[in-house]
């Protein structure tokens, strides 16, 4: 059965065109042309997968056709054909993007094999592009997977408000996915084809914030050698995402309020208002209620941006989502690093579920990336987890008496300290007692009390 691939043969020699067509037509759809101009004209009408391209053509040369094809049809593979074997010609062909180079005294089976391999590479390139697009879309939703009630509520809310023009205030700790949520709202808003302009206000030097947001006129200040559009103008028709809005200078909060209320801004050094229209999404990890009471944030601006608040929960409050999130990141990085990792063991997931996750989803992703990168096993187990994840427990159902909390903190510190000493001493208990300067019997007693013996034995055998 013939392949769905379409092969274009471009050669001014009729006999060569007929010979190659006879070799390939059983397995592929074959088209033929006698010139480079004919090839470029046909590409505007036909979907071609592979071109067998003669180097020497009347009119436009094969190399020129190759350059144009690679600039305009990057997925089409090209195999250059020449009457003579010239190393320099072959090098130039490969340099300009050709898949391979052959001479006209080729072996028939060799040609079939070469064409088949070129088509397989094209399929792989298409898969990579498709996967990249899927990953880009998936990355905007990665924090919205899992069975937790918090996430189901956020998904429902996004579906209700995405297409509204109302301002959205995203609240949550660092690493919970606030910008990803903003990008998802933009994509689902009906403005997805327009600009998404993200500004991290905490990352801009104070003296540049106003110019960055509102733009400036030429000569407005030292170094303003030309007019510059601000983020508000660049976001016109699309979405403006202001991250860390709680860090915005107090004097600029009034200008932001006017931009929201009046739909117009004024560049630094400018004399006339400029109309602009955009969807505003803001985010912060600051307690804005407290900031308003302390006089650090304008109350009128707070009410203006707090139209649709969405609170992103920290990972520790949606810990039941962790297995699905871990699987998503594992699949991503085992493909990236081409590792044979199949999954994470139940015991390792149990330890991860007990961790506090101060860095939230970002910390989980970084951990999984590191584990996959260094792993040569099919399964990631508790023995692969860094020491801090073994002992930093979530405060869920733990002791509530202050003295008990203090003792638990002391035990955690002592356990971690001894385990690191064991690691430095290559898991030799006697050497560790000397390193710590305590009797061997005391160290063994502490290891027994702190449940360290089994863990040390496992880690030593890893």
On the question of pLDDT at 457 being above 70, the answer is: no
CA gap 264, 261 in Å, rounded:
8
Mean pLDDT of 153-163: 92
Are 193 and 237 in contact by the 8 Å Cβ rule? The answer is no
- Which position has the token pair 């088509």? 119
Structure-model confidence comparison of residues 274 and 239, the more confident one: 239
Are 81 and 53 in contact by the 8 Å Cβ rule? The answer is yes
Are 178 and 221 in contact by the 8 Å Cβ rule? The answer is no
Predicted pLDDT at 133: 44
On the question of pLDDT at 170 being above 90, the answer is: yes
309 phi/psi in degrees, rounded to 5: -80, 135
On the question of pLDDT at 392 being above 70, the answer is: no
What residue ranges in 190-263 does DSSP mark as E strands? 196-200, 215-216, 228-229, 239-243
102, 98, 87, 97: which is closest to 16 by C-alpha? Answer: 102
Structure-model confidence comparison of residues 397 and 27, the more confident one: 27
CA angle 79, 103, 2 (to 5 degrees): 50
Chain centroid to CA 374: 20
Structure-model confidence comparison of residues 432 and 308, the more confident one: 308
What is the tens place of the pLDDT at every residue in 31-61?
Answer: 999 999 999 999 988 889 999 999 889 889 9
Please count the CA atoms within 13 angstroms of the CA of 186 that sit on its side-chain side: 26
Beta carbons within 10 angstroms of residue 124's beta carbon: 10
What is the tens place of the pLDDT at every residue in 298-350?
Answer: 999 999 999 999 999 999 999 999 999 999 899 889 888 888 899 999 989 99
Instruction: Classify 199 in phi/psi space as left (phi over 0), alpha (psi -120 to 50) or beta.
Output: beta
The average confidence (pLDDT) of the chain is: 85
What is the tens place of the pLDDT at every residue in 185-197?
Answer: 998 898 888 889 9
What is the tens place of the pLDDT at every residue in 229-238?
Answer: 889 988 988 9
CA gap 310, 164 in Å, rounded:
14
What is the CATH class of 145-311? alpha beta
On the question of pLDDT at 11 being above 60, the answer is: yes
On the question of pLDDT at 459 being above 60, the answer is: no
% of the chain exceeding 70 in pLDDT = 89
Domain boundaries of the chain, sorted by first residue: 6-132, 145-311, 317-461
Predicted pLDDT at 458: 55
325, 279, 17: which is closest to 166 by C-alpha? Answer: 279
CA gap 291, 283 in Å, rounded:
14
407 phi/psi in degrees, rounded to 5: -65, -40
279-284 and 100-103 as β-strands: parallel, antiparallel, unpaired? unpaired
CA gap 85, 252 in Å, rounded:
69
CA gap 397, 394 in Å, rounded:
9
What is the CATH T-level fold of the domain 6-132, as seen in this structure? Rossmann fold (3.40.50)
CA gap 30, 6 in Å, rounded:
6
264-265 and 274-275 as β-strands: parallel, antiparallel, unpaired? antiparallel
Predicted pLDDT at 20: 94
CA gap 325, 175 in Å, rounded:
13
On the question of pLDDT at 353 being above 60, the answer is: yes
Predicted pLDDT at 13: 92
CA gap 153, 159 in Å, rounded:
10
pTM: 0.58
Predicted pLDDT at 53: 93
What is the CATH T-level fold of the domain 317-461, as seen in this structure? Helicase, Ruva Protein; domain 3 (1.10.8)
Question: In sequence order, which residues have a C-beta less than 8 Å from that of residue 145 and are 6 or more positions away?
Answer: 151, 321, 324, 325, 328
Query: DSSP assignment of 426-462, as one string?
Result: TT-HHHHHHHHTS-HHHHHHHHHHTT-HHHHHHHHH-
194 phi/psi in degrees, rounded to 5: -95, 180
Reported as a pLDDT band with limits 50, 70 and 90, residue 137 is very low
Reported as a pLDDT band with limits 50, 70 and 90, residue 418 is confident
Q: Do domains 6-132 and 145-311 have the same CATH topology?
A: yes
Mean pLDDT of 384-392: 79
On the question of pLDDT at 142 being above 80, the answer is: no
Predicted pLDDT at 111: 92
Are 343 and 374 in contact by the 8 Å Cβ rule? The answer is no
Mean pLDDT of 244-259: 91
Mean pLDDT of 146-173: 92
Mean pLDDT of 61-65: 91
**Rounded alpha-carbon distances, angstroms, from residue 161 to 35, 153, 154, 192, 259:** 56, 12, 10, 15, 22
Reported as a pLDDT band with limits 50, 70 and 90, residue 146 is confident
């Amino acid at each position: 059965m013939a392949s769905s691939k379409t092969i274009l043969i471009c050669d001014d020699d009729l006999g060569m065109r007929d010979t190659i067509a006879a070799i390939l037509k059983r397995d592929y759809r074959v088209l033929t042309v006698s010139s480079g101009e004919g090839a470029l004209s046909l590409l505007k009408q036909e979907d071609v997968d592979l071109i067998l391209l003669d180097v020497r053509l009347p009119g436009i040369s094969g190399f020129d056709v190759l350059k144009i094809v690679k600039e305009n049809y990057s997925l089409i593979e090209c195999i250059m054909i020449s009457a003579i074997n010239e190393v320099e010609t072959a090098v130039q062909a490969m340099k300009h993007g050709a898949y391979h180079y052959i001479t006209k005294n080729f072996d028939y089976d060799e040609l079939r094999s070469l064409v088949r391999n070129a088509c397989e590479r094209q399929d792989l390139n298409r898969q990579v592009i498709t996967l990249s697009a899927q990953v880009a879309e998936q990355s905007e939703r990665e924090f919205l997977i899992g069975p937790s009630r918090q996430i189901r509520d956020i998904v429902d809310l996004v579906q209700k408000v995405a297409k509204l023009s109302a301002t959205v205030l995203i609240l949550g700790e660092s690493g919970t996915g606030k910008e990803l949520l903003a990008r998802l709202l933009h994509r689902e808003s009906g403005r997805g084809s327009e600009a998404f302009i993200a500004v991290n206000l905490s990352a801009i030097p104070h003296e540049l914030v106003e110019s960055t947001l509102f733009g400036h006129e030429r000569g407005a200040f030292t170094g303003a050698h030309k007019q510059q559009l601000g983020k508000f103008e660049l976001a016109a028709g699309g979405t403006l995402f202001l991250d860390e809005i709680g860090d915005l200078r107090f004097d600029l909060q009034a200008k932001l309020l006017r931009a929201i209320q009046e739909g117009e801004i004024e560049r630094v050094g400018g004399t006339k208002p400029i109309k602009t229209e955009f969807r505003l999404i803001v985010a912060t990890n600051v307690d804005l209620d407290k900031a308003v009471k302390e006089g650090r944030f304008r109350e009128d601006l707070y009410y203006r941006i707090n139209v649709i608040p969405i609170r992103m929960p920290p990972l520790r409050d949606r810990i039941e989502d962790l297995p699905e999130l871990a699987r998503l990141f594992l699949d991503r990085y085992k493909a990236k690093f081409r590792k044979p990792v199949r999954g994470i063991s139940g015991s390792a997931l149990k330890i991860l579920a007990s961790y506090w996750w101060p860095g939230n989803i970002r910390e989980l992703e970084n951990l999984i990336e590191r584990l996959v990168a260094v792993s040569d096993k099919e399964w990631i187990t508790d023995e692969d987890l860094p020491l801090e994840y073994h002992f930093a427990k979530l405060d869920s159902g733990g002791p509530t008496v202050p003295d008990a909390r203090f003792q638990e903190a002391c035990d955690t510190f002592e356990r971690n300290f001894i385990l690191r000493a064991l690691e430095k001493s290559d898991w030799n208990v006697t050497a560790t007692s000397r390193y710590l300067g305590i009797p061997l019997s005391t160290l063994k007693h502490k290891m027994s009390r702190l449940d360290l013996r089994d863990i040390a034995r496992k880690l030593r055998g890893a």
